Structure 1
Amino acid sequence: MIDRSMVTTAFELPGYRAERSLGVARGIIVRSRSVVGSIGASLQTIFGGNITLYTSLCERARQDAFERMLREADALGANAIIGMRYDATEIARGITEVLCYGTAVQAIRG
């Protein structure tokens, strides 16, 4: 598996050079809110502030998409990912797609 320190949002990795680009690696996850979670989050909105139920749902979705991207890049033979980004789209009410993507590369020191 690719070491997390070898993933960057920049287009270069300090101390390394991309010897070979292996294409785009992506991880995608589609999540929906549960009825219980939606009710709990609605109650939290009454009091204002951070809606922790949605925060944890979003964080889990991003983490899952990130892990899937790492597995795909690893399968391509990469040891690093540059230009990593997240994107999210609401597919339907309460259903969100989270995409994590970047360029899978073979990076060498130097």
Structure 2
Amino acid sequence: MDKNMVTTTFNLEGYKIVENLGIVRGIIVRSRSVVGNIGAGLQSLVGGNITIYTELCESAREDSFELMLKHAEEHGANAIIGVRYDANEVSQGITEVLCYGTAVRVEKI
């Protein structure tokens, strides 16, 4: 699926929705490693951006986004509207990242 056909809005400029295929999602559950926690702890002593956690979060978001795209393609969608992210701590040090939206079929106007 073309990533330009994925939006947080509920329409795509220049396209009309011809079929609503329902909710699609991608979910990833990640944990921090002991080594990562030590490295992040050392970075936090200096202050500023804790790059180890930033990279972990970005990776989890990207992976959940890619899984959502795959789920939408399995439903025959060519676009996804209303995309959102959600994150929850499942257990101490274990986080779930969910990317979800509405799979649709669109046609150019």
Q: Equivalent residue for 1:8?
A: 7
Cα shift at 1:78: 0.0
Q: Is residue 40 from structure 1 mapped to residue 39 from structure 2 by the alignment?
A: yes
Output aligned runs, 1:74-93, within 5 Å: 74-93=73-92
SS in 2 for 1:55: helix
Cα shift at 1:104: 0.1
SS in 1 for 2:66: helix
State percent identity of aligned pairs.
64
What value does the CA root-mean-square deviation take over the aligned residues?
0.4
Counterpart residue type for residue 85 of structure 2: Y
Q: Equivalent residue for 2:17?
A: 18
SS in 2 for 1:86: strand
Cα shift at 1:36: 0.1
Structure 1 unaligned blocks of 5 or more:
none
Cα shift at 1:102: 0.3
Q: Equivalent residue for 2:57?
A: 58
Cα shift at 1:29: 0.3
Cα shift at 1:52: 0.1
Q: Deviations over 1:81-109 (max 9, x none)?
A: 00000000001110000000000000100
Distance 2:87 2:12 in 1: 25
Counterpart residue type for residue 27 of structure 2: I
Cα shift at 1:45: 0.5
Cα shift at 1:62: 0.2
Q: Which stretches of structure 1, 4 residues or more, deviate above 4 A after TM superposition?
A: none
Distance 1:17 1:60 in 2: 32
TM-score normalised to structure 2 length: 0.99
Counterpart residue type for residue 60 of structure 2: A
